[in-house]
Structure formats: structure tokens, C-alpha cells
Amino acid sequence: MYDVIVIGAGPGGYVSAIRCAQLGLKTAVVEGRETLGGTCLNVGCIPSKALLHATHMLHEAEHNFATMGLTGKSPGVDWDKMLAYKSDVVGQNTGGIEFLFKKNKIDWIKGWGTIPAAGKVQVGDTVHETRNIIIATGSEPSSLPGVEVDEKIVVTSTGALELAKRPKKMVVIGAGVIGLELGSVYARMGTEVTVIEYLKTVTPGMDGEVQRTFKRMLQKQGFTFIMDAAVQGVTTTKTKAKVTYKSNKSGEVAVVDADVVLVATGRKPFTDGLGLDALGVETEPRGQIKTDAQWRTNIPGIYAIGDAIPGPMLAHKAEDEGMAVAEVIAGKAGHVNYGVIPGVIYTHPEVATVGKTEAELKEEGRKYKVGKFSFMGNARAKAVFAGDGFVKLIADKETDRILGAHIIGPAAGDLIHEVCVAMEFGASAQDLALTCHAHPTYSEAVREAALACGDGAIHA
């Protein structure tokens, strides 16, 4: 008899299992993949970051080395070797989770689980008994009508991470996080990348100024954008594809050719085969599992977290829920502050965001002030060709309390956490502005944005 069986070993599930074990609960994890870590470690965040790093190095060599007096033959791309490097990075990380499971005495039940009843998880012919079940089965790419994925010519993010060869022309459907990160990988290696997006802006939901700046920067890196257009269908031959799209404004239909088409139009909860219908687990209209504020489903003893429930589909949101639900099960007060969940896009420059956007605050009718600082005024950024971009800090007009931050620029994904901590402590912009920041660092730009919320930035 286990105290907890977690189904799914992605960032939500494995983190939850470790916290359960640390809190003294007898814990097992059911995972059908050959390796632990779920989408994030195997075919998502981690392999894409390896390819983003490698291709960014190539970009630096091709564009900035000569300026810095670094001369000599430019590096070429050995694609197979780059893929091997990526696989090695994945292996180190998935192996690390296996080590952590052993260290924390967590059983890995290999196979795909179903829940025949509360308190039971079946894997193959064996039924395991448990007091609590945590569903952490994550998500899978959404399908698009008229587009059939073969993971060779028409790929999801999974196929895009191991293409047989580098395409000359790639069409990306969807200007969201996946499309722009993986599009960047290929654009940096010389692929002509065309992004077709349904909306008028890239990265839906983000700060408008960030969206416009980001799109302009990507265009400078060679991206072509076809905005405000709906993909109608994709046809393929043995080696090529044709993508048909229709302009939302004019209704005109056009076709673009590609060697590879990346479908990046969002993800949906992956709960197939769990037996949720038979159990009577309630779901939301869009298929996510319905839970209360402490991740309980309507069936006692069954909890759900991560991409399988509503909220941003982010590894770190799942991790936080995983830790918190473990604490709830152990009788403690598990809590997640959904108002302070950062979002990061790992392109170059990085984009990072937390809290409210101006558009959201306008809609709420809340009075706010904005402190903005360009990386052009940051000495460190200029030294590394990263002066493009800015930090925008938003604070309450009356109280000066920080309400959000939107950063596009060097190391934005790290800088954002200073603001996250400040927000968790209910800090004012002035609190950040009065905090000494080491010189020369990118973080000074965050301080300057905070100063700009008050009497003014120094280097503006």
C-alpha cells in the first residue's frame, strides 16, 4: 500500500514525488516512457535549450566574432553531432531524475497507468493500492484540421528536435513560444523560416510593446511573418510540403512551399487511457481536469496538477503545484501564487514576463505607472552586442506596489526573478530602486526601470 502514486514523471510529477517522499510518504511514480522527466526533459524545454545554445554560439561566431577581433574560419554545422550533443544533455538530465528517485526511495513503476477506482492504479496486469493518486500526465500537441503530422515533413516540436537534415525552407504554423524558439534554432543555421500566425501579434497575451519589438528583432534575424492568416491545410509529397492559408482580412488564399512544416498551435491535456470518464472525474469544457484550489478532483483521493489542469502550460507552474499538492496530502498548507508565475521565451534576446500587462490593468480599470529602461543605457549589454530591448516595470499609481514586469533583452529569463521575489514580498518599485545592484550587470536595467517609476532613471 502506497501513500501516493503519481501518474506521470514530468516536472509536475517527479517534483511532486520527491516532495512527497521528503515529507515521509511512501511514494511511487508510474511512467511509460523509457526515461523520466516527461515532455520537458525528453522532447521539450531541455533539448530545445541545447539546440538554442549551440545555434546562438554559431550566430555569435558569424556575426560578432570579427568585430571583437576574433578571426579565422567560421565554424560550420555538423548536424548529427549537434543532435548527439542535445541527446547527451537530455540523458544527463533524465539520468539525474532516476538518481533522485533512488536517493528518495521512490519506486518507478514502468508502464502506462489507468485508474480503475479511487485508491487503485493499474499498470499492465498489476493493480497497485494507494491512499492518494496524483494525475500529472501533462499535455500533447493540439491537432489542426487539414494538417496531418508525420513527424518527418510535418512535425510537432518533438519531430523538430530531430529532423533528419536541416531544411532549406521551414514554415512554422503559430507565432507562440514553440514556433519562435524552434524557428530561431533553424533560422540561425540559414533556414528560411516563414511563420504563419492567426492573430495580428506574436506571442498572444504578452505586453504589446514587447510583442512589437520581439517581432522586429526576429525579422532582423531573417524570420518572415504572415500575420492575421489562418492555415487551411498542408499537402505533402515525399520530400516537400505546401501550406495553404487564408488572409483573415481579405479572404485571399495563398500557398507557401516548405521542406518542413512545424505545427506549433498550442497543446492540449494528455489524459487518454486513464479511465477518467468511467471514474466520473469532472473536466473543464476544454478537456482539462477540474480541481479545487488544492488540486483535488471531484473524486476523493484523486488530485491533478500541471498541464492536465487549467492555467499556463509551463514546467515551473507544474513543479510548484507538484510541491504544493504533496504538502496538502501530508496535511500541510500547500499554496501556489498564480499571480507570480514568470513566463520566459529562450530566444535571443530572451523575453520574460511576470504579473499584469498594461492591457490587463486597463481592462481592470486600475491606475498604474510604467518605468521603462532601454538596454542601450546598460554598459554591460552594450559590451556584448545586446543593447536592443528594454525592461518595463509596472507599479500601482497610488501605492507604488509592483504589479508586473516585461523584459526583452539579455538574460531576461534570469532578470525576471528579481521582480518575482519583489512581488512575492509585496515590494514597491522604490524598494527595487533603493537596492544596490552590482555594476556592470544587466540587472542594473531592472533597477533603472524601477527608478523610472519614481524620480527618473539615471542613464536614460
Q: Tell me which long-range contacts 379-383 makes (C-beta under 8 A, separation of at least 24).
A: 379/439, 379/440, 380/410, 380/440, 380/441, 380/442, 380/444, 381/409, 381/410, 381/442, 381/445, 383/440
Q: Residue from 9, 17, 329, 345 that binds ligand NAI (CB under 6 A)?
A: 345
Amino acid occupying residue 213: T
* Beta-sheet pairing, 169-173 with 2-7: unpaired
Sole binder of ligand NAI in the list 10, 47, 179, 334 (CB under 6 A): 179
- When asked if residue 210 is in the footprint of ligand NAI (CB under 6 A), the reply is no
Assess 318 for contact with ligand NAI (CB under 6 A): no
31: contact with ligand NAI by CB under 6 A: no
If binding is defined by CB under 6 A, does position 197 make contact with ligand NAI?
yes
> For the window 212-231, what string marks contact with ligand NAI as x by the rule CB under 6 A?
------------------xx
Cell numbers placing 164: 533528419
CA distance 134 to 365: 39
Establish if 411 lies at the interface with ligand NAI (CB under 6 A): no
Q: Measured from the CB atom, is 188 or 380 closer to ligand NAI?
A: 188
**Exactly one of 21, 123, 314, 323 binds ligand NAI (CB under 6 A); which one?**
314
Residue nearest ligand NAI, Cβ-based: 176
Q: Is 400 left (phi over 0), alpha (psi -120 to 50) or beta?
A: left
- Of 155, 313, 352, 423, which one interacts with ligand NAI (CB under 6 A)? 313
Q: Tell which one of 270, 346, 375, 442 touches ligand NAI (CB under 6 A).
A: 346
Is 266 a binding residue for ligand NAI by CB under 6 A? The answer is yes
Q: For residue 270, give the DSSP letter.
A: -
- By the rule CB under 6 A, 160 interacts with ligand NAI: no
Pick the piece of the chain touching ligand NAI (CB under 6 A) from 175-183, 290-298, 318-326, 356-364: 175-183
Q: How far apart are CA 383 and CA 202, in angstroms?
A: 29
For residues 55 and 189, the answer to whether their CB atoms sit within 8 Å is yes
The one segment of 163-171, 308-316, 372-380, 447-455 that binds ligand NAI by CB under 6 A: 308-316
Give the Cα separation of 336 and 139 in Å (integer): 20
Report the distance separating Cα 393 and Cα 226, nearest Å.
30
CA 288 to chain centre: 18
Interhelix angle 443-452/412-424, rounded to 10 degrees, is 50
What is the DSSP track for 361-429? HHHHT--EEEEEEEGGG-HHHHHTT--S-EEEEEEETTT-BEEEEEEEETTHHHHHHHHHHHHHTT-BH
Contact call for residues 443 and 437 (beta carbons, < 8 A): yes
Residue 175 binds ligand NAI (CB under 6 A): yes
38 scored as a contact of ligand NAI (CB under 6 A)? no
Which of 27, 8, 29 minimizes the C-alpha distance to 273?
8
Stretch that binds ligand NAI, among 61-69, 265-273, 324-332, 375-383 (CB under 6 A): 265-273
- Looking at residue 238, the DSSP 8-state letter turns out to be S
State the residue for C-alpha cell 512589437: 212
Q: Is residue 176 at the binding interface for ligand NAI, with CB under 6 A as the rule?
A: yes
* Binders of ligand NAI in range 428-457 (CB under 6 A): none
Half-sphere exposure of 288 (CA within 13 A, CB side): 19
Query: Which part of the chain contacts ligand NAI (CB under 6 A), choosing from 86-94, 194-202, 216-224, 323-331?
Result: 194-202
Cell of 423: 512581488
Is 265 an interacting residue with respect to ligand NAI (CB under 6 A)? Answer: yes
439 labelled catalytic: yes
* Span near ligand NAI by CB under 6 A; candidates 13-21, 186-194, 263-271, 283-291: 263-271
Of 87-95, 172-180, 328-336, 440-448: span binding ligand NAI (CB under 6 A): 172-180
φ, ψ of residue 171 to 5 degrees: the values are -105, 130
Catalytic residue among 63, 417, 439, 459: 439
- Smallest gap from Cβ 268 to ligand NAI, in A, equals 9
The yes or no reply on residue 198 touching ligand NAI (CB under 6 A) is yes
Using CB under 6 A as the binding rule, whether residue 243 contacts ligand NAI is answered as no
Q: Exactly one of 206, 276, 325, 344 binds ligand NAI (CB under 6 A); which one?
A: 344
Q: Binding to ligand NAI (CB under 6 A): which residues in 267-286? A: 267
Q: Is 295 in the site for ligand NAI (CB under 6 A)?
A: no
Residues lying near ligand NAI in the complex (CB under 6 A) are found at 144, 173-179, 181, 196-199, 204, 230-231, 264-267, 312-314, 344-346
- The catalytic residues are 439
